[in-house]
Amino acid sequence: MIRVGIIGASGYTGAELLRLCAQHPDLTVVYATGDTQAGTRAAALYPSLAARYPNLVFEEFHAAKAEGLDLVFLGLPHEASMALAPQLVGKVGCVVDLSAAYRLKDASLYPGWYGFTHDQPELLAEAVFGLPELHRRELHGARLVATPGCHVTAASLALAPLVRGGLIETTGIVINSITGVSGAGRALKHTSLFCTVDEDVNAYGLLDHRHTPEIEQEIGAQVLFTPHLAPLSRGLLATCYAKPAKGVSTESLLAALDTFYDDEPFIVVSEASPSTKATLGSNTAHLTARYDERTNTVMALCAIDNIAKGASGGAVQAANVALGLHETAGLSMIGMYP
């Protein structure tokens, strides 16, 4: 039995981690914190968890209670994770952070994109980016894993094979990404209210969204990234445009994706246009690509569940690799439909 702690378990990503751990053959949650919900039963806040966690109560965080655990997930704001991680790394088997606190390898980028100074160069250098399809080898035995953002996961999966294969230019890439409201978290915000979101699609973070340097780091290319909020509970669709670096066709692009992701358990490459509904509740990413001869443009698309593969599911997948477990354990490849 692998003893698990979830720090920040009362948020949406925490609730999803509880769900995934409940169906995992090796993970057992023994410590779940939620400072704003301390004393609240998980089943009262999230009735969907009642059958598996009828008596689990969210606690306040105390580092001593986490010490000695095999695996700890951090579902906290960026600076909060950065404050707690040094207290845990080396005292637990593996720390998997769902914030951006350890994603960017260049510490100088944090003040401009995130508004805080990163003062832990050693941990930043040690942290492994938690996208197994791109960093599986480095994840084995990792003590600190930085789970990527949902937009970053989709865009990187769509574009990394094409950049690495020399199929597209590495400047001027455009990414339009549509996501569901759960990506904004459980906190009460005007932009997340039903009357604000319903029947509306809104672009945000114009020109300066903080996921931009993370995407550029992972694919090794310059991007113009624009996220859009849509009236969905869960789901993310990234549509990416680039200029070809050499002669390509739709067939060669699909073949490149298919070869790059050969035997990847959570990747589907298809001629069909991906849809968010197909990924609902699963850890699978659906990909396709096209070449438009008329405009000499490459288009690559990726659909994921933003809370599953784009957050908690991706975190569990990375933890499985880091701890030497079966990579697919506890994770569904099949979306819920209808």
What ranges do the domains of the chain cover? 2-147+309-322, 150-306
> Which of the 8 DSSP states describes residue 63?
H
Contact residues for 268 (Cβ-Cβ < 8 A; gap 6+): 284, 285, 286, 287
Residue 188 has pLDDT above 80, yes or no: no
150 is catalytic: yes
> Would 2-147+309-322 and 150-306 be classified into the same CATH topology?
no
Write down the pTM of the prediction: 0.97
Distance, in Å, from the CA atom of 327 to the CA atom of 131, rounded to the nearest integer, reads 12
Class of domain 150-306: alpha beta
Q: Which pLDDT score, from 0 to 100, does residue 137 have?
A: 98
The active-site residue out of 21, 94, 150, 240 is 150
Q: Which pLDDT score, from 0 to 100, does residue 85 have?
A: 97
> Are residues 6 and 33 in contact, defined by beta-carbon separation less than 8 angstroms?
yes
Distance, in Å, from the CA atom of 184 to the CA atom of 274, rounded to the nearest integer, reads 23
Least confident of 15-24, 187-196, 267-276, 326-335: 187-196
Tell me the average pLDDT across 176-192.
87
Please state, in angstroms and as integers, the Cα–Cα distance from residue 28 to each residue in 24, 74, 100, 125, following that order. Answer: 8, 16, 25, 30
> CA gyration radius for the chain?
19
Q: How confident is the model at residue 193 (pLDDT cuts 50, 70, 90)?
A: confident
- The CATH number assigned to the domain with range 2-147+309-322 reads 3.40.50.720
Dihedral angle at the C-alpha atoms of 74, 31, 126, 177, nearest 10 degrees?
Answer: -30
Q: Which pLDDT score, from 0 to 100, does residue 191 have?
A: 83
Tokens representing 258 are 């298919």
Mean pLDDT of the chain: 96
Tell me the average pLDDT across 113-141.
97
pLDDT tens across 52-79, in order? 999 999 999 999 999 999 999 999 999 9
Q: Which pLDDT score, from 0 to 100, does residue 317 have?
A: 98
Tell me the average pLDDT across 289-295.
98
Cα torsion 33, 118, 305, 96: sign = negative
Q: Which pLDDT score, from 0 to 100, does residue 192 have?
A: 86
* Of 98 and 338, the one with more pLDDT: 98
Residue 308 has pLDDT above 90, yes or no: yes
